[in-house]
C-alpha cells in the first residue's frame, strides 16, 4: 500500500517521516515540506497533531 502525506496528500520522498498515530496506532506520513513548515495533520480517527 502506498502511503501519502497526511497533510497535503503528496507522494512521499526519502525525507518524509512515517510514524504511528498516538491514538489509534495507524501509520501517518508527512512529507518533508509539511514537516518543515509544521503543517498540521489529521488522522482518520480524528487525532490532530503538530
Least distance CB 50 / Zn ion (angstroms): 14
Size of the site for Zn ion (CB under 5 A): 13
Q: Which residue in 20, 24, 40, 42 binds Zn ion (CB under 5 A)?
A: 24
Q: Cα separation of 24 and 38, whole Å?
A: 21
16 binds Zn ion (CB under 5 A): no
Q: Cα separation of 23 and 11, whole Å?
A: 24
Question: Which grid cell sits at 36?
Answer: 518543515
First to last CA, the chain: 25
Note the residues at the interface with Zn ion (CB under 5 A): 5, 7-8, 10, 21, 23-24, 26, 31, 34, 43, 45, 47
Amino acid at each position: 500500500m502506498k502511503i501519502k502525506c497526511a497533510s497535503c496528500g503528496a507522494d512521499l520522498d526519502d525525507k518524509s517521516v512515517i510514524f504511528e498515530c498516538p491514538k489509534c496506532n495507524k501509520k501517518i506520513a508527512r512529507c518533508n515540506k509539511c514537516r518543515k513548515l509544521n503543517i498540521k495533520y489529521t488522522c482518520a480517527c480524528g487525532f490532530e497533531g503538530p
